[in-house]
Amino acid sequence: MSKAPKSSGGVNRRQFLADTAKAACGVGAVGLGISLYADDAKALPATALRPPGAGPESHFLSACVRCGLCVRDCPYDTLRLAKLGERVTVGTPYFVAREVPCEMCDDIPCVPACPTGALDHALTDINKARMGLAVLIDHETCLNFLGLRCDVCYRVCPVIDKAITLEQHANLRTGKHAMFIPVVHSEHCTGCGKCERSCVLEEAAIKVLPHRLAKGALGAHYRLGWEEKAKAGHELVPGIIDLPDRMPEVVR
């Protein structure tokens, strides 16, 4: 260094380029890490539900700045921000139905509180919220399936008789009683989580799951024969041969 300070321009430039390359490579590696982490973060745990008006997770993570204004305006302390170390993307708002469900406020204060529109301001009717979908997941422990009249999930549902109905079935075990099976209807269930919260079992038999887990999807080309028939007003394939039906063992 000491002998030729004048000619150090070339060395400096080379040094600069080397430094730049080093920095770019290091930063690139970190960037790759963050990007993989970001993709990973989109896999929200099944028990974590987003506030009303939140879009699909892939969109929500581009929109929510993690300010917690929705949390502050929720009068029931339903919402909370994920802390570092939890499995939900750090800082994002969520709730756990079994702990504190959404009370489905008429004025949905959490939504207008959101400054970014991560919670869609177009949502003004809480009945149109789709935070998740209740699924009566365990038919073996649900008391109504055991032939009792618990009905708690049905009775607490804010959208009672639309989101959950009780359907009467014969109790084949006793042969003489009825069973009233809670059935959830996705076109009305908001995913508020009140049913899961109130399920009397140690571990809820009815759970609110994100739609991606709770819903199946028909192939886009599928047509329901009976609907098509009603639409057309006649059989689409006239004189179709009726195949012999096989009854399940129990019934036979």
Partner 1 sequence: MSADTKKANRPGTEAITEKGWLSAHKWLLLRRLAQATFVLLFLIGPLTGFWIVKGNMASSLTLDILPLTDPFILIQSFVAGHVLEMTAMVGAAIVTIAYLLLGGRSYCSWACPINPITDLAHWLRQRLGIKGGMQISRQTRYWVMAMVLASSALTGAIAWELINPITILHRGIIFGVGLAWTVVLAIFLFDLFVSRRGWCSHLCPVGAFYSIIAIPSVLRVSAQNRAVCNDCMDCYAVCPEPHVISPALKGEAKNIGPVIQSPNCTNCGRCIDVCAPMVFTFTNRFNTKVSESPSRVMEAA
* Residues near partner 1, by CB under 8 A: 19-20, 22-24, 26-28, 30-31, 34-35, 37-39, 41-42, 58-59, 61-69, 71-73, 80-81, 83-86, 89-91, 113-118, 121
Structure letter (DSSP) for residue 184: E
The DSSP string of 136-175 is: E--TTT-TTTTT----HHHHH-TTBTTTEEEEEEE-TTTS
Which of helix, strand or coil describes residue 40?
helix
Residue ranges in 148-207 that form contacts with ligand SF4 under rule CB under 6 A: 157-159, 163-164, 184, 189-195
Structure letter (DSSP) for residue 126: G
* From 57, 66, 165, 186, residue interacting with ligand SF4 (rule: CB under 6 A): 66
* Nearest residue (CB) to ligand SF4, 65 versus 148: 65
66: left (phi over 0), alpha (psi -120 to 50) or beta: left
Does 74 interact with ligand SF4 (rule: CB under 6 A)?
Answer: yes
Residue ranges in 7-26 that form contacts with ligand SF4 under rule CB under 6 A: none
Does 41 interact with ligand SF4 (rule: CB under 6 A)?
Answer: no
Residue 39 interacting partner from ligand SF4, partner 1, none (CB closer than 5 to 8 Å by kind): partner 1
Backbone φ and ψ of 170, nearest 5°: -75, 140
Residue ranges in 209-238 that form contacts with ligand SF4 under rule CB under 6 A: none
Residue 205 interacting partner from ligand SF4, partner 1, none (CB closer than 5 to 8 Å by kind): none
Structure letter (DSSP) for residue 11: H
* Nearest residue (CB) to ligand SF4, 19 versus 161: 161
Structure letter (DSSP) for residue 180: E
* Nearest residue (CB) to partner 1, 72 versus 139: 72
Backbone φ and ψ of 191, nearest 5°: 80, 25
